[in-house]
Structure 1
Amino acid sequence: MKQESEFELVENPDALADRLVGGSEDFVNRHKNLLIGIFVAIAAAVVGGFLYYQNQQTKNQEALAAMFQAEYYLEADSLAKAINGDGQHDGFKQVADEYGSTKAGNLANFYAGVALLKDGKYQDALNYLENFKSDDLLLQARAYSLQGDANMELGKKEEAADLYKKAADHKANEYFTPQYLMKAGVALESANKYSEAAEVYNRIITDFPGAPEVNDAKKYKARNEALSAAK
């Protein structure tokens, strides 16, 4: 009898459908609370994600508006006001600290670093530049190079050289990579790392033969090879 019932399920689609529907209803009845909880969690996640996105968009617009005056002060070389604000408008530091999770707040880290570097506050500049992260080809490499500048001013020459090389290797290109490599070579030379400096200069010569920096790279390479041999 059991065998006949099984054959009926195989040969009779209606019987199979009834069994499946009945099983599904039974599963739903037995696990109703669990299923409701899952659906509520999914709905909450979707709504929460949407609200977070909307909130980030709003905060990003606020950050852009807050940065407007600070950008003006930076262009005018009013560094103190660009960094800390003017009493009525926020400076880059406040925007970066308050809106750091937004795109505009992230960019404020970069501008704060630039302004602080120009103002001679090298460690503060380094802190903000390290907080800046971007997929942009030019800006991220530039941020690494500026971190190198800050380290050079702080007397950390080898750290500076590493950052210049990091800038050079970030989506390397014929326009900016040779410039960053030159800075790396100078930093290594000032740290008495003559052999390493010669290697960096040689990379400019071999990898970027059409770069304006090549002639200087050849002279600096020869000088560092001689210094290395004399050690």
Structure 2
Amino acid sequence: MKEKKQKVDKGNTHEEHKEYEVFESAEVLQERIVETQGFLDKNKNSVIGLVAAVVVIVAAYFLYGMNMESENAKAQAALSPAVFYFEKDSLNKALNGDVDANTVGFLAVADEYSGTKAANLANYYAGVSYMKMGEFEKAIDHLEKFSSKDLLVQARAYALIGDAYVQTENFDAAISSYKDAVNYKENDDFTPAYLMKLAFAYEAKGDVANAKSTYEAVISDYAKSQVVNDAKKYLALLNTQG
């Protein structure tokens, strides 16, 4: 069965009616074309300038994209040796490079190739390196510069920021960061662990009520998780304390 075509309302005012006529009257359409041509003749310089500006913007956009691809390739090449040192636990060389080997570290990659994917990743690695070295303020600074849509890495970065804030005894900031980790693409594998960290931060702050409710969330929402027994244990301890 064919659908009925919707009746077009030509409008109640003269202007509305005239707009509709453009689509049904060849004479009106011709009139509009003449009007448009007249406008273009009178404002030729402005129109040409506008078109030229659009061309420049589009060209700049594509040139920027090509340049970023080239810069990212260079940054990736510079990042590889730093990752090698990181995996070998040579954190100073990972961060600052190796003069003898003529390589740069995460800090230089993040600074010199800012805006590239490699620079973004360099900030993550730098943050983790500083965490391992116990320099928590620097760790926070670099981890907060990192951004990813990845399910695992972004949530992990939020949790690491929370860990760093715990080490500096800034429990409010730690709680906020752990909440970011918990709420980022919630999943059965990692969210329960971040909830446990959040509960610990509440306990450290002395907020027993929220600590309890967080443990309870682990128990009720993630009954099959590996941390559920720990959640039950710590909740029981809090309950015995009154």
Tell me if TM exceeds 0.5. yes
Aligned residues: 216
Q: How does 1:25-174 map to 2 (within 5 A)?
A: 25-87=37-99, 88-174=102-188
Question: 2:206 matched to 1:206?
Answer: no
When residues 190 and 34 of structure 1 are mapped into structure 2, their CA distance, relative to the original with a 3 A threshold, is same
When residues 20 and 180 of structure 1 are mapped into structure 2, their CA distance, relative to the original with a 3 A threshold, is closer
When residues 181 and 28 of structure 1 are mapped into structure 2, their CA distance, relative to the original with a 3 A threshold, is same
Question: Does the CA contact (< 8 Å) of 1:84 and 1:92 recur in 2?
Answer: yes
Shift of 1:84: 1.0
SS at match of 1:212: coil
TM-score (norm 2): 0.84
SS at match of 1:210: coil
Question: Does the CA contact (< 8 Å) of 1:63 and 1:104 recur in 2?
Answer: yes
Structure 1 residues not aligned, in runs of 5+: 1-11
Q: Deviation per CA, 1:146-187, whole angstroms, max 9, x where unpaired?
A: 001111111223322331222111111000001111111122
When residues 32 and 184 of structure 1 are mapped into structure 2, their CA distance, relative to the original with a 3 A threshold, is same
Query: Quick one: distance in 2 between partners of 1:187 and 1:23?
Result: 70
Question: 2:192 matched to 1:197?
Answer: no
Shift of 1:199: 1.0
- Which structure dedicates a bigger proportion of its chain to helix? 1
Shift of 1:19: 4.6
Q: Deviation per CA, 1:177-219, whole angstroms, max 9, x where unpaired?
A: 0111111112222222222111111100001011111111011
Q: Deviation per CA, 1:93-151, whole angstroms, max 9, x where unpaired?
A: 11112222111111111111011111111100100001111111111100000001111
Query: Quick one: distance in 2 between partners of 1:70 and 1:136?
Result: 22
Query: Quick one: distance in 1 between partners of 2:38 and 2:186?
Result: 62
Query: Quick one: distance in 2 between partners of 1:200 and 1:78?
Result: 38
Shift of 1:17: 6.8
Question: Does the CA contact (< 8 Å) of 1:189 and 1:224 recur in 2?
Answer: no
Q: Deviation per CA, 1:54-96, whole angstroms, max 9, x where unpaired?
A: 1111111111111000000000000000011112211111111
Q: Deviation per CA, 1:24-71, whole angstroms, max 9, x where unpaired?
A: 432222111011011101100110101111111111111111100000
Query: Quick one: distance in 2 between partners of 1:79 and 1:107?
Result: 16
Choose from 193, 196, 204 the match for 1:182. Answer: 196
When residues 20 and 151 of structure 1 are mapped into structure 2, their CA distance, relative to the original with a 3 A threshold, is closer
SS at match of 2:152: helix
SS at match of 2:108: helix
Query: Quick one: distance in 2 between partners of 1:102 and 1:117?
Result: 23
Code of the aligned partner of 2:94:
A
Query: Quick one: distance in 1 between partners of 2:32 and 2:191?
Result: 66
Code of the aligned partner of 1:206:
S
RMSD: 1.7
Other-structure match for 1:223? 237
Q: Is 102-111 or 64-73 further displaced after alignment?
A: 102-111
Query: Quick one: distance in 2 between partners of 1:158 and 1:22?
Result: 67
Structure 2 residues not aligned, in runs of 5+: 1-24
